[in-house]
Amino acid sequence: MTEPIRIELPTMYGMKTVNAYLFLDPEPVLIDCGEKSKASWEALQSALAVYNLTIKDIKKLIITHAHVDHIGMSGSIVEESGAEVWVNEYCYDWAVNTDLMWKRRMGMMEKHILGDMPPNGDGENFKKMLFSFMGAVMDAWDTLPAEKVHSFPIDGTLNMGGADWQVIYAPGHTNMQTCFYQKEKKWLIGADMLLSITPTPVIEFKFDDPTQRQKGLAEMLQSFEKMKALEIATV
């Protein structure tokens, strides 16, 4: 078992880059994949070339959570390589019914964020800014073909790099986030759970009622308690 290889991909967000992780053996597997952009595509190609690989060589793509900087380029990768995509059960609809899920998110945000703002002035400007940003996000994210997408349970295990990794459900940043923990090595693929900056509790709708907002901050604090209970040597 070898340590996964970190690949930095450019992102539209202020952090400037987002991490993907590559396992070489027993087959090329990529964890997360960045946004759909020319810069991300070229960065991924360059990183793979160091190991004499191309995007066509990727056999499996595993997604920690369905945010654009982690799943956005997956459609392009699947088209190029034919790779199978694995997402957790809460991400599945985001992968195969992306437009519908975005409509639900925007409907909830209009109700809970924009609903109490004045119709003119600052409220209208904020609405334009929000919808402009969301439009840019959607441009960097393609829906995946359902026949290529498989789901894994939030309390299961995944075999990556020749070893079993425990799936850890860690909501807060988003209600569909999973991390992967390798107990023997004490390695954690942390997604957006443990960062050098404080993760943002992104505004998400409840699974059982898309009109209502998820209590992301409270969930994030509970997820930090899960992280504290793990023996972690490397994130």
Q: What is the pLDDT of residue 1?
A: 77
Helix (H, G, I), strand (E, B) or coil at 44: helix
Q: What is the pLDDT of residue 129?
A: 84
For 136-167, the three-class secondary structure string (H helix, E strand, C coil) is HHHHCCCCCCHHHEEEECCCCEEEECCEEEEE
Encoded tokens for 89? 């059960």
Residue 135 C-beta-side C-alpha neighbours within 13 Å: 6
Measuring CA to CA, which residue among 21, 96, 93 is closest to residue 61? Answer: 21
Task: Check whether 199 has a pLDDT greater than 90.
Answer: no
Q: Read off the pLDDT of residues 13-54 as tens digits, 9 standing for 90 and up.
A: 877 899 999 999 999 999 999 999 999 999 999 999 999 999
Measuring CA to CA, which residue among 100, 32, 82 is closest to residue 61? Answer: 32
Q: What is the pLDDT of residue 122?
A: 74
Is the bond preceding 26 in cis, omega lying within 30 degrees of 0?
A: yes
Q: Read off the pLDDT of residues 111-154 as tens digits, 9 standing for 90 and up.
A: 887 777 776 777 778 878 888 888 888 899 999 999 999 999 99
Q: What is the pTM of this model?
A: 0.94
How large is the average pLDDT for residues 57-65? Answer: 98
Q: Which residue has the tokens 């946004």?
A: 35
- Torsion over CA: 71, 76, 79, 81 (sign): negative
**What percentage of the chain exceeds 90 in pLDDT?**
78
